[in-house]
């Protein structure tokens, strides 16, 4: 599949002799999976919210700049990078201090201070205000030896109330011959006068630095690993959700006891920023709480569809999407992009077929990177995991590396013990993928039989479903078992090789599973059917704790499970870790704040949407080329968590969002553009006038905004 990336890198034949004699081959390599990719029908995606739309041809994600993802914060605001400037922490604070005499202090506060101690506090406060560059060395001690813990707390609060530019701390101090417990009061340090760490962090400053992370063509853990390495310590980043690697994205993140200048310096020194700005930080604020997983309302997308062949059909699809929404399928990204789907591994795990699960994870793939390909192929033939692990080298932190390690320590025995060396959330990702596959298939069968109308016995929720996943649906993101970027850290990893901890790791092990939300669904009856919309109807992801529809849809689930050798009881696993509770998901999703415009262009590889970073740097917006031969569609919309943008695009275009189909469209576009250039060169050589630019749709003006 071509994406104008140039020829593939050629590697020298791998020398296995340095690892010693591996012995005889015990297992033949499987047939090549070249060209085998996951298509929508393979994962149950086959129906549409509107069956009669004509559709149109277009190229999705030709470049990563065609896919822009902006987090929506808990207040419903779209997170955009607005400023790269750090706040001035050295600026003298505007202190609201008014001198108050001891007798003027209310009795319930005055009782903690003698008149002399209060006078010394006032004098220290005045000196502190006059000293702009140096800190007064005096310290005032308040004797609290006989005070309770609660009373000592009150003293701290009173001093901060009347003297906001002074700081306090409790210590033991020898006064005369006696050891006393005192609250020491001194001038408060500001800015970066001291090293910003948890021991010397200014008391008045909240510990968490919130910031906007802008990244392009990086996954979240890559970005955090690089920042942590450049900061020089093992810092803990927290965030609301991961974003797609092959995109440009903005999101709010948090880190403790780090200043904006430190973080900016680290971002500039990351290896990603050597040739271009792939990572930037800005919009800083200090807050008292971290950002937790799920602390957002979803994502806003700005997408580019290239080489649109029919503007009229695109308009029809967009108007339909605005009115009817789209079927809320789990997108192809959830299942990977190779001959082995993540749901295949999940099914083997649910069945307890550990050898099959392990072999599926380690099965060679044609799209592997070099070292991963060598390690997989070696293990498949010789079944020696210790050598395969050594071949992987620095990629040993991958899921495959963890499986190799588990096999090595289990004496090459296939079993749950070997799989347990894979971190828990990655293992659950596989079984969740199988649940998603069953959901997709069941919804397709339901829509095929009943359409999008409410049926007696349906399940519904009037309130919003609190979607549960162990990950953000990352467009075009693949797990390590399938990815072309096999050295990335698993999606929700407690700790990676650089020591970066995922601050969003679930507090309770059940939080990482489907079914953590206990929702009470209702059943559609003759009495309420007229009050229920298809937008209220939910269908279950199979599990031991969920309720199935009270109609023929339950039979559809049973038939799907039976095809895979399962039944409803299969999700009650003897291992609590794989015992799946299930969940509910709305059949139809809505694209909020939908708007679009068309743009003409000439260069197939031209960036058509400006990035937040370039906008901050003052670069102009991308201009429309009125006579450009190609038509592009720029659309923006918002989705809630767990909705897939590619499924919205599929609804309007009627094209398969898989890599195989998109690769074919890209190659066709490339061929057409080369032919156009060839004809232009020929006419130029023959002295003819310029080639007439033939537009790819009707000749309507491209400038239109909705």
| Residue 335 near residue 43, CB atoms below 8 Å | yes
Q: CA-CA distance, 207 to 503, in Å (whole number)?
A: 15
End-to-end CA distance of the chain: give it in Å, rounded. 33
Please compute, for residue 693, the number of CA atoms within 13 A of its CA located in the half-sphere on the CB side. 13
What's the Cα-to-Cα distance from 140 to each of 170, 181, 336, 361, rounded to whole Å? 12, 13, 65, 66
**Which burial class, exposed, middle or buried, applies to 450 when counting CB atoms under 10 A from its CB (0-12, 13-18, 19+)?**
middle
Per-residue three-class SS string for 363-382:
CCCCCCCHHHHHHHHHHHHH
96 is catalytic: no
Q: Left, alpha or beta for 194 (phi > 0: left; psi -120 to 50: alpha)? A: beta
Q: At what angle are helices 354-362 and 342-351 packed, to 10 degrees?
A: 160
Which of 645, 634, 670, 666 is CA-nearest to residue 303? 634
| Residue 577 near residue 430, CB atoms below 8 Å | no
- Identify any residues that bridge with 180 across adjacent strands, giving them in sequence order: 173
- Identify any residues that bridge with 142 across adjacent strands, giving them in sequence order: 183
- Identify any residues that bridge with 67 across adjacent strands, giving them in sequence order: 303
Pairing of strands 208-216, 279-287: antiparallel
- CA 241 to chain CA centroid, Å, is 4
| Residue 60 near residue 662, CB atoms below 8 Å | yes
For tokens 């953590």, the residue is 516
Q: What angle do CA 338, 339, 344 make, to 5 degrees?
A: 100
Q: CB 413: neighbour CB atoms within 10 A?
A: 12
Q: CA-CA distance, 305 to 57, in Å (whole number)?
A: 9
**Which burial class, exposed, middle or buried, applies to 176 when counting CB atoms under 10 A from its CB (0-12, 13-18, 19+)?**
exposed
For tokens 């020829």, the residue is 7
| Residue 67 near residue 246, CB atoms below 8 Å | yes
H-run or E-run covering 248: strand 248-256
| Residue 555 near residue 526, CB atoms below 8 Å | no
Per-residue burial over 121-144, b if 16 or more Cβ lie within 10 Å, else e, is bbebbeebeeeeeeebeeebbbbb
Per-residue three-class SS string for 285-348:
EEECCCCCCCCCCEEEEEEEEECCCCHHHHHHHHHHHHHHCEECCCCHHHHCCCCCCHHHHHHH
Question: What residues have CB less than 8 Å from 647, skipping those under 6 apart?
Answer: 45, 326, 327, 328, 329, 331, 589, 657
- DSSP secondary structure of 251-285: EEEEEES--HHHHHHHHHHSGGGTTS--EEEEEEE
Q: Which of 219, 244, 536, 656 is labelled catalytic?
A: 244
| Residue 600 near residue 581, CB atoms below 8 Å | no
Which of 644, 620, 287 is CA-nearest to residue 436? 644
- Identify any residues that bridge with 306 across adjacent strands, giving them in sequence order: 59
Pairing of strands 236-239, 501-502: parallel
| Ordered alpha helix ranges (H), 66-146 | 107-110, 115-130
Residues designated as active site: 244
């Amino acid at each position: 599949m071509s994406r104008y990336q140039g020829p593939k890198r050629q590697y020298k034949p791998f020398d296995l002799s340095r690892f010693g004699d591996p012995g005889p081959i015990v297992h033949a390599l499987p047939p090549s999976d070249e060209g085998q990719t996951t298509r929508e029908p393979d994962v149950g995606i086959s129906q549409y919210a509107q069956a009669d739309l004509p559709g149109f041809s277009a190229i999705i994600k030709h470049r990563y700049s065609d896919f822009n993802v902006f987090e929506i914060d808990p207040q419903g605001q779209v997170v955009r990078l607005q400023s790269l400037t750090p706040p001035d922490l050295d600026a003298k604070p505007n202190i609201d201090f008014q001198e108050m005499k001891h007798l003027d202090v209310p009795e319930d506060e005055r009782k903690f201070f003698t008149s002399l101690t209060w006078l010394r506090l006032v004098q220290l406060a005045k000196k502190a205000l006059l000293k702009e560059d140096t800190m007064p060395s005096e310290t005032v001690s308040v004797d609290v030896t006989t005070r309770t813990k609660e009373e000592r707390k009150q003293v701290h609060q009173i001093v901060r109330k009347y003297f906001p530019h002074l700081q306090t701390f409790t210590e033991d101090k020898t006064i005369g011959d006696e050891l006393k417990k005192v609250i020491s009061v001194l001038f408060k340090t500001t800015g970066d006068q001291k090293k910003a760490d948890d021991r010397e962090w200014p008391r008045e400053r909240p510990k968490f630095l919130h910031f906007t992370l802008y990244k392009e063509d990086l996954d979240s853990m890559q970005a955090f690993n690089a920042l942590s390495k450049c900061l020089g310590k093992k810092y803990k980043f927290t965030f609301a959700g991961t974003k797609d690697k092959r995109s440009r994205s903005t999101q709010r993140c948090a880190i403790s006891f780090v200043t904006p200048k430190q973080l900016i310096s680290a971002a500039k020194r990351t290896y990603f920023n050597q040739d271009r700005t792939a990572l930037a930080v800005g919009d800083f604020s200090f807050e008292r709480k971290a950002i937790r997983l799920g602390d957002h309302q979803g994502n806003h997308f700005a997408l580019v569809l290239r080489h649109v062949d029919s503007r009229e059909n695109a308009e029809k699809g967009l108007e339909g999407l605005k009115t009817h929404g789209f079927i809320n399928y789990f997108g192809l990204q959830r299942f990977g992009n190779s001959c082995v789907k993540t749901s295949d591994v999940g099914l083997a795990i649910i069945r307890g077929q550990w050898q099959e699960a392990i072999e599926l994870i380690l099965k060679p793939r044609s799209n592997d990177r070099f070292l991963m390909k060598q390690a997989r192929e070696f293990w498949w033939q010789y079944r020696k995991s210790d050598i395969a692990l050594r071949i992987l080298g620095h990629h040993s932190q991958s899921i495959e590396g963890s499986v190799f390690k588990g096999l090595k320590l289990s004496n090459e025995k296939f079993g749950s013990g070997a799989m347990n060396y894979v971190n828990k959330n990655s293992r659950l990702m596989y079984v969740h993928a199988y649940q998603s596959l069953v959901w997709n298939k069941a919804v397709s069968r339901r829509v095929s039989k009943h359409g999008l109308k409410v049926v007696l016995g349906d399940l519904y929720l009037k309130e919003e479903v609190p979607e549960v996943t162990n990950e953000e649906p990352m467009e075009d993101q693949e797990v390590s078992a399938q990815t072309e970027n096999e050295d990335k850290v698993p999606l929700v990893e407690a700790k990676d090789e650089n020591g970066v901890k995922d601050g969003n790791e679930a507090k309770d092990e059940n939080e990482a599973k489907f079914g953590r939300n206990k929702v009470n669904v209702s059943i559609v009856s003759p009495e309420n059917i007229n009050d229920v919309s298809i937008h209220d109807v939910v269908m279950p992801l199979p599990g031991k704790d969920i309720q199935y529809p009270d109609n023929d849809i339950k039979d559809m689930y049973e038939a799907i499970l039976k095809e895979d050798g399962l039944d409803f009881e299969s999700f009650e696993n003897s291992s609590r870790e794989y015992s799946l509770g299930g969940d509910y998901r709305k059949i139809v999703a809505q694209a909020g704040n939908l708007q679009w415009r068309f743009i003409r262009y000439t260069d197939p590889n031209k960036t058509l949407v400006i990035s937040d970073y370039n906008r901050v740097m003052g670069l102009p917006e991308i201009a429309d080329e009125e006579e450009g031969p190609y038509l592009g569609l720029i659309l923006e919309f918002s989705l809630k968590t767990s909705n897939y943008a590619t499924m919205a695009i599929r609804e309007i275009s009627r094209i398969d969002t898989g890599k195989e189909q998109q690769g074919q469209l890209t190659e066709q576009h490339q061929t057409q553009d080369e032919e156009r250039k060839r004809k232009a060169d020929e006419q130029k050589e023959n002295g003819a006038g310029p080639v007439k630019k033939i537009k790819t749709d009707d000749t309507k003006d491209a400038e239109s905004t909705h």
